[in-house]
Structure 1
Amino acid sequence: MTDAVAKAEVPVWPAISLAQAHAALTQAGSPFEIDTIEIDGRPTKIWKNGPPTLMHSFMAGRMHGDRTFIVYEGERVSFEAFARATLALAADLQARGVQKGDRVAVAMRNLPEWPVAFFAASLIGAIVVPLNAWWSGAELAFGLRDSGSKVAIFDIERLARIAEHRDALPDLEQVLVSRGDPGSVDARITLLESVIGPSGDWAALPPGDMPAVALDSEDLSAIFYTSGTTGKPKGALATHRNAGTGIMAGLFSYSRAFVRRGEAPPQPDPTAPQKAGLVSIPFFHTTGCNALLLPALVNGQKLVCQRRFDAAEALMLIERETINLIGGVPAVAIQLLQHPDRHKYDLSSLETVTYGGAAAPTALVGEIARETTGLPGSGWGMTETSATHTHHLGEDYLNRPDSCGPALPVSDLRVIDADGNDLPVGQVGELLAYGPNVVKGYWNRPEATAETFVDGWVHTGDLARLDEEGFCFIVDRKKDIIIRGGENIYCQEVEDILFEHPAVAEAALIARPHPVLGEEPVAVVSLAPGQSVDPEALRALAAERLAAFKVPVTVFILPHALPRNAAGKIVKADVKALVLTEPSA
């Protein structure tokens, strides 16, 4: 074969530009057609065929009938069984007096009951409050109190954590608990099984009736709590349209990868084997809910849920359940690739391995492409953008391994300087995001809302640059947040607790690189004159008050004051230079 012939046979990539791919996929009559409507007085692009409310998503999911929806350990729940349990719980919540606009909190691990609770509340027009199941009892109590939740649906572990705080929550009228022992709960608590039964019996429940509650795309659907830059976590006000926007995001990115390659996107085939996804990221995150759970429901995908991520179990599940999609944080992909038994399992069913929520090593994308059959994918989003705002897959990611992809065609990005002026291509500034996925603001935080959301644009606090095609490159975080395996850690919250110890004069929480989790929290303190303290005592103090993922893995005690600038602020870059010499193993 001559060199000329060999070169001619090598496909040219990309076959078309990004703008051409977007134009082809979103043209009139296509599944990804875009319409422009007015939302809050501003023109906004939307997916014309996206589910306008969670009710529409629920009805689309029910059409998949007896196909398996949720797999959890030895339990299997079909789409129809899920629908029947959801409608039974929705009727029960209405009988308890829950009305449109009331807040219903959900705090549990990724049990089959989680989506049932989420949709039961959504269908009657309540505002769901997914609480972080990793939070301590005090943190859960804050979320319940701040949201003014009228009803809470817990699993038994979360109920135990909140028990001592129950009497300090006057708005909380009713509590339901899943998988509890009838003899271990008091009369004020209803066992969820008494309403819907165990998951294995859901298929035998009555078909149920759809609640007669009118829902609009701009109605509030959920309050997702996010760690902010000041004070306590803030509740981001999500709408039904926000949820529907995310359902289209993954499908679009998958289709665009084929078009950029010069191929036609795969068409839906009802006779094809059911797709399956492995889920370890919690549903209480916008990524777990909006980017994984809701698309799976609408598209008829089987979701295989792990109690907690375990790479050995995940490898077994990929083979047993013929998993096609792995989604989550980069740590999931890293641990799977590094597991010594990886080659003992058949992983040939993998089609996509995609992640977000934390910084990923640039070498990871190439390793996924070389070592698996899956297309590597990466995206960027935040609670305020209802998860996915940018995404790319396959060759786009391989050719830009340090990018999180371009904005979806219904969304926009800007990069501005300190004075609010737009910066040219390639220059670094604060990233702003706009689109139908951006939340309404923060619950009961008018000042924070006004500061963060300006004319519909959310000020992300991330420092980024855009290239000539619109691909986004996150450079750093303006916010003082550490992201450990996808979990946000607000530094001041931890520092304040350490400072409460009488021996501590100053405290700073910094991020130490971690090869799997991305970052881990490390505390650095100086002591008051004449004082001494065991570093483990400070870790124990933090562990008493905080979720485990927020507790510093190490506490360094300096013999002198922490470095400060002329304004008196601790200079964390200098703190890092003092104590961090190499990444954690």
Structure 2
Amino acid sequence: MQTKTDVAAGWTPPAGWPAMSRDEVRDLLTGPGQPFEMETVAIDGRETRVWKNAPPSLRAIANMGREHGDRLAIVYEEERVTFDAWFRATAALAHHLRKRGIGKGDRVALAMRNLPEWPVAFFAITSLGAICVPLNAWWSADELAFALSDSGSKALVCDHERWERIAEVRDGLAALETCIVSRAEEESEGTERLEDILGKSNAWIDLNDHDLPEADIAPDDEATIFYTSGTTGAPKGSLGTHRNICTNVLSSTYNLAFAPLRRGEEPPEPTQKTILLVIPLFHVTACSAAMVGYFVSGHTMVFMHHWEPEEAFRVIEREKVNMTGGVPTIAWQLLDHPARCDHDLSSLEMITYGGAPAAPELVRRIEQTFGAAPGSGWGMTETMATVTGHVSEDYLNRPDSCGPPVAVADLKIMSEDGQRELPTGEVGELWARGPMVAKGYWNRPDATEQTFVDGWVRTGDLARLDEEGFCFIVDRAKDMVIRGGENIHSSEVENVLYEHPAVTDAAVIGLPHRQLGEEPAAVVHLAAGTHATEGELQTWVGERLAHFKVPVRVVFTDTTLPRNANGKILKKELTSLF
């Protein structure tokens, strides 16, 4: 049955859809002998459902990637790297790190933009049993120094741009012994040039064809420390295992397998795709939910120096890109940029995103404009990305949902004090459980105790679940505006603003009010060539939502709103506009 939001999204289910219930599809996909078969194992003393066929470690995935041979693995501007060349470079760097004393449990930081060297370094580090610490490439010198010091990283692999920042604080990092810098014209004091170890990317194919160094790695051994986005307070290092990240390899494909079965079709044979990956690899969405699985499937990744819509159009056309996305902002810019019609984008089959809520209007426009399947999912750094997801008709049918949990995950909605599970349909704090949930926070026992409870992670998201288990993220708890005792979920107002034909970016924040506590205010970016006034947008919202939810102020900005690398709007930076 269509809901009000379905009608607003302008989508009518085709005749006969769905041909199977989600429970029927789940039972079919996870049955004995099927690719998504499950089993129960003990993780930290708790019985946990896991994918039976998930790779046991990132080392195993590196060896699987090797099997794709001369297929292109990475495209970056004029550089093209095959899977064979990537593996040779990965093995060579792993042997070099071993000679530098890197072994199981040692932390090795990785700080660079999306370059062909990034997946080389990532798999070289983790194949040794060492812990990779991806650092935010947007961080300042002090922020980079914090994470390097907090993690106790023994070695660092970075690009020249990051090294110029880290060099300022290098003397204060007592644990850091080895620094390997890529794309530096000359060697800096106390560093090695990555090119002196591997050569440039176009020469990796000429490296010796060695196996990875020997290493004993179990699924629940520690593999990564991803730092939280740190929109409030200092970032915390989320400590992930090989099982956590390898779970996503099957979780992502599990979500994709639903769509054809729901239509009553047989799932097609797996085919290798070309994917424009524009979100930073230091974020779990790009690394865990995307890149790691691509080395299993043999997909080609295309990187860009930095995101720019018109350049993205040229790349999509030139490389015949099948999939892209990352965060909703990227999808909006692809839709609304005036140069879109100047390029052949017919190769696009799917546009997916996570990291931030998307407006229902976006879902419909992806299908109508590109003829591509929209896809969305939800996860967080503490879950190594994917927990929920849906694509195609299921997403079009529930455009305000991030999908149901994958078969190995559980969700529940809890009261504010965390003591009571709430009934279906009620809004409360979202808790998640499954083999993707991280072990805890690095060196933060107090924070770990507050967030990780008996195998569940308290997400801090306000959400509800419907009768079929679909999850609806209502807001971040800290983003809720409370006006005179009335709760205003900022995402609800933002979604209405996005429905306005001129609005391409919007955020709602709370402004202090002497009597009411807070009042809602909006910051809006308009599409090129369009016009809207504050009063017009206030009327637009007032016609669709209760009066107390209408923004008392609307400020327009010439640029899209500031975001962290995870795609989340930095709302604390918006208050100065008022």
Tell me if 1:403 matches 2:401: yes
* TM alignment of 1:507-522, pairs within 5 A: 515-516=503-504, 519=507
Q: CA deviation at 1:11?
A: 3.0
Cα distance change of structure 1 residues 134 and 216 upon mapping to structure 2, 3 Å threshold? same
SS in 2 for 1:164: coil
Aligned to 2:70: 66
Cα distance change of structure 1 residues 238 and 474 upon mapping to structure 2, 3 Å threshold? same
Tell me if 1:148 matches 2:152: yes
Cα distance change of structure 1 residues 394 and 583 upon mapping to structure 2, 3 Å threshold? farther
Give the alignment partner of residue 166 of structure 2, picking from 154, 162, 169.
Answer: 162
Amino acid in the other structure paired with 2:374: P
Q: Is the 8 A contact 2:151 2:442 kept in 1?
A: yes
Aligned to 1:365: 363
Calculate the aligned-residue CA RMSD, in Å.
2.4
Residues in 1 aligned to 2:212 and 2:219: alpha-carbon distance in whole angstroms: 18
Cα distance change of structure 1 residues 574 and 356 upon mapping to structure 2, 3 Å threshold? closer
Aligned to 1:311: 309
Residues in 2 aligned to 1:323 and 1:60: alpha-carbon distance in whole angstroms: 23
Q: Deviations over 1:169-194 (max 9, x none)?
A: 11111111000011xx4331100101
Q: Deviations over 1:257-305 (max 9, x none)?
A: 1111111111236xxxx41000110000000101111111110000011
Aligned to 2:125: 121
Amino acid in the other structure paired with 1:236: S
Give the alignment partner of residue 57 of structure 2, picking from 53, 60, 82.
Answer: 53
Residues in 1 aligned to 2:443 and 2:268: alpha-carbon distance in whole angstroms: 45
SS in 2 for 1:106: strand
Amino acid in the other structure paired with 1:175: C
Residues in 2 aligned to 1:84 and 1:518: alpha-carbon distance in whole angstroms: 45
Tell me if 1:581 matches 2:554: yes
Residues in 2 aligned to 1:21 and 1:164: alpha-carbon distance in whole angstroms: 55
Cα distance change of structure 1 residues 389 and 518 upon mapping to structure 2, 3 Å threshold? farther
SS in 2 for 1:129: strand
Aligned to 2:204: 202
Amino acid in the other structure paired with 2:34: S
Q: Is the 8 A contact 1:331 1:518 kept in 2?
A: no
Amino acid in the other structure paired with 2:96: D
Q: CA deviation at 1:145?
A: 0.6
Aligned to 1:552: none
* TM alignment of 1:5-16, pairs within 5 A: 11-16=15-20
Aligned to 1:343: 341
* TM alignment of 1:386-465, pairs within 5 A: 386-419=384-417, 420-465=419-464
Cα distance change of structure 1 residues 257 and 574 upon mapping to structure 2, 3 Å threshold? closer
* TM alignment of 1:59-138, pairs within 5 A: 59-138=63-142
SS in 2 for 1:141: helix
Q: CA deviation at 1:243?
A: 1.0
Tell me if 1:264 matches 2:240: no
Residues in 2 aligned to 1:481 and 1:424: alpha-carbon distance in whole angstroms: 21
User: Which sections of structure 1, spanning at least 5 residues, go unmatched?
Assistant: 1-8, 483-509, 525-561
Give the alignment partner of residue 256 of structure 2, picking from 244, 254, 257.
Answer: 254
Cα distance change of structure 1 residues 11 and 113 upon mapping to structure 2, 3 Å threshold? same
Residues in 2 aligned to 1:23 and 1:145: alpha-carbon distance in whole angstroms: 47
Amino acid in the other structure paired with 1:15: A
Cα distance change of structure 1 residues 233 and 573 upon mapping to structure 2, 3 Å threshold? farther
Residues in 2 aligned to 1:572 and 1:55: alpha-carbon distance in whole angstroms: 51
SS in 2 for 1:405: coil
Q: Is the 8 A contact 1:246 1:290 kept in 2?
A: yes
Identical counterparts, % of pairs? 52
Q: CA deviation at 1:565?
A: 8.5
Amino acid in the other structure paired with 2:390: H
Tell me if 1:231 matches 2:233: yes
Residues in 2 aligned to 1:578 and 1:315: alpha-carbon distance in whole angstroms: 35
* TM alignment of 1:456-495, pairs within 5 A: 456-479=455-478
* TM alignment of 1:160-199, pairs within 5 A: 160-182=164-186, 185-199=187-201
Aligned to 1:321: 319
Aligned to 2:9: none
Aligned to 1:354: 352
Count of aligned residue pairs for this structure pair: 502
Cα distance change of structure 1 residues 257 and 191 upon mapping to structure 2, 3 Å threshold? same
Cα distance change of structure 1 residues 42 and 69 upon mapping to structure 2, 3 Å threshold? same
Q: Deviations over 1:141-163 (max 9, x none)?
A: 11101000000111011011112
Q: Deviations over 1:353-382 (max 9, x none)?
A: 110111211101000111113110111110
SS in 2 for 1:212: coil
Amino acid in the other structure paired with 1:56: A
Tell me if 1:384 matches 2:401: no
Q: CA deviation at 1:343?
A: 2.0
Q: CA deviation at 1:384?
A: 0.5
Residues in 1 aligned to 2:54 and 2:420: alpha-carbon distance in whole angstroms: 33
Residues in 2 aligned to 1:359 and 1:266: alpha-carbon distance in whole angstroms: 30
Q: Deviations over 1:19-41 (max 9, x none)?
A: 11111111111111111111111
Q: Is the 8 A contact 1:359 1:518 kept in 2?
A: no
Aligned to 2:568: none
Cα distance change of structure 1 residues 22 and 194 upon mapping to structure 2, 3 Å threshold? same
Q: CA deviation at 1:209?
A: 2.4
Q: Deviations over 1:297-319 (max 9, x none)?
A: 11000001111111111111112
Q: Deviations over 1:196-251 (max 9, x none)?
A: 11001000000112211100100000000003586310000010011111111221
Residues in 2 aligned to 1:574 and 1:362: alpha-carbon distance in whole angstroms: 21
Report the TM-score, using the length of structure 1 for normalisation. Answer: 0.82
Q: CA deviation at 1:418?
A: 2.2
Residues in 1 aligned to 2:104 and 2:180: alpha-carbon distance in whole angstroms: 19
Cα distance change of structure 1 residues 230 and 278 upon mapping to structure 2, 3 Å threshold? closer
Amino acid in the other structure paired with 1:209: D
Residues in 1 aligned to 2:189 and 2:150: alpha-carbon distance in whole angstroms: 25
Residues in 1 aligned to 2:452 and 2:316: alpha-carbon distance in whole angstroms: 41
Residues in 1 aligned to 2:175 and 2:553: alpha-carbon distance in whole angstroms: 46
Q: Is the 8 A contact 2:157 2:180 kept in 1?
A: yes
Q: Is the 8 A contact 2:510 2:519 kept in 1?
A: no
SS in 1 for 2:101: coil
Cα distance change of structure 1 residues 517 and 299 upon mapping to structure 2, 3 Å threshold? farther
Cα distance change of structure 1 residues 518 and 217 upon mapping to structure 2, 3 Å threshold? farther
Amino acid in the other structure paired with 2:433: Y
Aligned to 1:26: 30
Q: CA deviation at 1:352?
A: 1.1
Amino acid in the other structure paired with 2:234: K
Amino acid in the other structure paired with 1:201: A
Amino acid in the other structure paired with 2:364: G
* TM alignment of 1:535-554, pairs within 5 A: none
Residues in 1 aligned to 2:421 and 2:184: alpha-carbon distance in whole angstroms: 55
Aligned to 2:540: none
Q: CA deviation at 1:580?
A: 3.1
Q: Is the 8 A contact 2:510 2:521 kept in 1?
A: no
Cα distance change of structure 1 residues 519 and 139 upon mapping to structure 2, 3 Å threshold? farther
SS in 1 for 2:168: helix
User: Which sections of structure 2, spanning at least 5 residues, go unmatched?
Assistant: 1-12, 482-493, 523-549, 559-578
Give the alignment partner of residue 330 of structure 1, picking from 328, 331, 338.
Answer: 328
Residues in 2 aligned to 1:578 and 1:22: alpha-carbon distance in whole angstroms: 43
